[in-house]
């Protein structure tokens, strides 16, 4: 694939990605805005409809207390009828109640369909609507609306009445029933029920609909549906948004359900416009990508031609690209590079000569350690000839340590090799301090081939012998244990020496800027701390615990690691 093609594709896909991202953002914004606006509008319609419904129920509530507000009806409800011969008087009294209550109620609110009054002193239920009236004295206790009133925790109840045995009605009604109590006492004087046709409530609910497929449902305090604007239920939509308006006084709630399909239809035109805009943007992006690639590739082609001439050996060629920006800088750099090529070639020859001299000097620098090693071997041989076994053994151990330092270039060695060199050094120290201390090793056998940093333990061993055990009035003991646990190798060196203060520990580890005291092996200890931190990171560290006159314990933790050859053999 040529660079021009890559530039075109990169430019096009970059623009296309921006357009696609912008399209998605715009679509989300449009849909979200439409959703928020619609929810706000429907909520306002629902709340307003609930206000209208509550106003109607408020009037029914006010009308239900009218019997005790009028002196004539209140006196009739408090009457006592002695025998059945007073039935005529009862009907006369009911006529008075009809004149007072029905007359005042019907003509103040056209939504009132009917009123039923059941005085307790007569047990005769009197019903009247705008077209007829009908008394009835049978089966009052079995009426559903009366049972709902008795089950209510208030003096009134709102109930949907679909069928009424007290008198026939042609369609469902919303009933507001109330217990009529004597003023100043709990004595029940009767029951009054005021009815409104459900279809009149449904006309109010129609105002809470945003579109034809929306559903608005009015429920009572028990969640029972009083009326609905549609035959179907919200579950038939699958996905919808619900909004609610509740009246705590009467325990009714008006719920509006809007199907998600409405939002999709409403967002259809904006989405089509956004898609057309995105398509047009992609076409413009393709044209601009072609123009951009041509303009970008022109100086590159000229520079490529010059580079081919230089490749053939012509160092007199120069780039004639005069465009500014990064490409102009590249061409200028190419011209400078060609001009300096000959000088660079001469410099390479000089540097190669200097490199050969440096390598020769490095070889000469190796003569000193080897010369020292050979000299020690000569002195060792002389001690052997003279029969001085102690000097011979000490020089032998020192030669092994020096030979290891000269020949072993790797920073990581096996634990077994580290312990071998450590034992050589211990033998040298025991010559200097005969019968002054003993060293005990406790090393897991299965970690001998694990890798460790070279000279990891020697500085701490030296400090324990020189500063911890020196001057003791009892035999010194140094315990060295190496264990493996949870993927880590733990080294513990503990002596029974004079111990250290916390300040001395901070000085050894250089905590908080402390500098070591004179005489402590500061270089070796701090070297180990730094090497562990650089090689393995902060989770692995050196920790020193001590108690004056008792002990000093050094704990070193590094990760478990094997040489590659060892891992392959184990596999």
HSE-up (13 A, CA, CB side) for residue 385: 6
pLDDT by residue, tens only, the chain of 571 residues: 566 676 667 766 777 777 777 777 777 777 777 778 877 888 888 888 888 888 888 888 888 888 888 788 888 888 877 665 567 777 777 777 777 777 667 667 788 888 888 888 877 777 777 666 665 555 566 677 777 787 777 888 888 887 766 666 667 888 888 888 887 787 888 888 888 888 888 888 876 665 666 778 888 877 778 776 555 555 555 677 888 888 888 888 888 887 777 766 766 677 777 777 777 877 787 777 777 767 766 777 777 777 777 777 776 777 776 666 666 777 777 777 777 776 776 677 676 765 555 444 444 444 345 445 555 655 655 666 666 666 767 767 777 776 666 665 567 889 998 898 888 888 888 887 788 889 999 998 889 899 998 888 888 888 888 887 877 777 889 999 999 988 899 999 999 988 888 888 888 887 655 455 544 455 678 778 888 888 888 778 899 999 888 899 999 999 998 876 555 444 4
Q: Are 490 and 482 in contact (CB under 8 A)?
A: yes
Q: Using H for helix, E for strand and C for coil, what is the string for 344-359?
A: HHHHHHHHHHHHHHHH
Compute the distance between CA of residue 471 and CA of residue 197 in angstroms, rounded to an integer.
112
The runs of H, that is alpha helices, within 312-366 are 325-365
Q: Per the structure block, which two tokens stand in for 454?
A: 């070279």
The two beta strands, 125-129 and 215-219, are unpaired
Q: Are 412 and 452 in contact (CB under 8 A)?
A: yes
Compute the distance between CA of residue 422 and CA of residue 12 in angstroms, rounded to an integer.
67
Its CATH class, for the domain covering 65-202, is alpha beta
**Residues in the chain, how many?**
571
Nearest to 380 by CA among 367, 369, 389: 389
The full set of domain ranges for the chain reads 65-202, 437-570
Compute the distance between CA of residue 184 and CA of residue 74 in angstroms, rounded to an integer.
13
* Cα 418 from chain centre: 48
Fold classification of 437-570 (topology level): Heat Shock Protein 90 (3.30.565)
Instruction: Report which secondary-structure segment, H or E, holds 476.
Output: strand 476-485
Q: Name the CA radius of gyration of the chain, rounded.
A: 52
Q: Per the structure block, which two tokens stand in for 562?
A: 């094997």
Give pTM, 2 decimals: 0.45
pLDDT at residue 474, rounded to an integer = 79
**Is the Cα dihedral 295, 301, 302, 304 positive or negative?**
positive
């Amino acid at each position: 694939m040529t660079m021009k093609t890559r530039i075109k594709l990169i430019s096009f896909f970059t623009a296309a990605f921006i357009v696609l991202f912008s399209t998605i953002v715009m679509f989300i914004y449009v849909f979200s805005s439409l959703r928020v606006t619609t929810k706000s509008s429907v909520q306002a319609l629902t709340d307003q409809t609930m206000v209208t419904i509550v106003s109607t129920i408020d009037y029914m509530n006010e009308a239900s207390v009218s019997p005790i507000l009028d002196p004539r009806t209140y006196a009739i409800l408090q009457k006592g009828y002695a025998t059945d011969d007073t039935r005529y008087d009862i009907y006369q009294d009911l006529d008075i109640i009809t004149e007072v209550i029905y007359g005042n109620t019907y003509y103040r609110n056209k939504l009132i369909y009917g009123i039923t009054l059941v005085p307790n002193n007569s047990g005769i239920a009197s019903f009247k609507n705008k077209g007829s009236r009908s008394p009835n004295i049978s089966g009052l206790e079995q009426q559903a609306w009366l049972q709902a009133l008795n089950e209510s925790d208030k003096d009134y109840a709102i109930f949907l009445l679909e069928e009424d045995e007290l008198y026939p009605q042609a369609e469902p009604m919303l009933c507001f029933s109330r217990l009529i109590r004597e003023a100043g006492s709990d004595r029940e004087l009767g029951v009054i029920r005021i009815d409104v046709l459900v279809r009149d409530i449904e006309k109010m609910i129609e105002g809470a609909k945003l579109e034809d497929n929306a559903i608005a449902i009015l429920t009572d305090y028990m969640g029972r549906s009083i009326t609905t604007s549609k035959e179907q239920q919200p579950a038939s939509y699958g996905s919808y948004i619900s909004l609610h308006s509740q009246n705590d006084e009467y325990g009714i709630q008006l719920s509006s359900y809007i199907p998600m399909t409405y939002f999709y239809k409403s967002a259809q035109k904006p989405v089509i416009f956004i898609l057309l805009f995105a398509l047009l943007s992609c076409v413009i992006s393709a044209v601009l990508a072609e123009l951009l690639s041509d303009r970008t590739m022109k100086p590159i082609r000229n520079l490529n031609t010059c580079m081919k001439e230089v490749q053939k050996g012509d160092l007199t060629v120069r780039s004639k690209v005069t465009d500014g920006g990064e490409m102009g800088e590249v061409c200028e750099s190419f011209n400078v590079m060609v001009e300096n090529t000959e000088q660079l070639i001469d410099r390479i020859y000089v540097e190669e000569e200097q490199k050969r001299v440096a390598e020769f000097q490095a070889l000469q620098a190796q003569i000193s350690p080897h010369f020292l090693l050979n000299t020690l071997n000569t002195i060792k041989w002389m001690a052997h000839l003279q029969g001085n076994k102690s000097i011979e053994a000490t020089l032998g151990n020192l030669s092994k340590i020096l030979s290891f330092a000269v020949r072993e270039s790797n920073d990581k060695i096996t634990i077994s090799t580290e312990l071998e060199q450590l034992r050589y050094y211990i033998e040298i120290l025991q010559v200097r301090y005969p019968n002054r201390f003993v060293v005990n090793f406790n090393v897991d056998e299965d970690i001998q081939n694990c890798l460790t940093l070279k000279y990891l333990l020697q500085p701490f061993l030296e400090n324990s012998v020189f500063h911890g055990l020196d001057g003791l009035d009892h035999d010194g003991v140094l315990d060295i244990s190496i264990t493996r646990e949870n993927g880590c190798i733990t080294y513990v060196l503990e002596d029974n020496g004079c111990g250290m203060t916390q300040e001395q520990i901070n000085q050894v580890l250089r905590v908080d800027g402390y500098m070591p005291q004179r005489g402590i092996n500061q270089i070796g200890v701090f070297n180990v701390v730094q090497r562990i931190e650089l090689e393995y990171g902060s989770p692995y560290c050196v920790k020193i615990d001590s108690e004056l006159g008792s002990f000093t314990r050094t704990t070193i933790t590094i990760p478990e690691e094997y040489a590659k050859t060892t891992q392959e053999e184990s596999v």
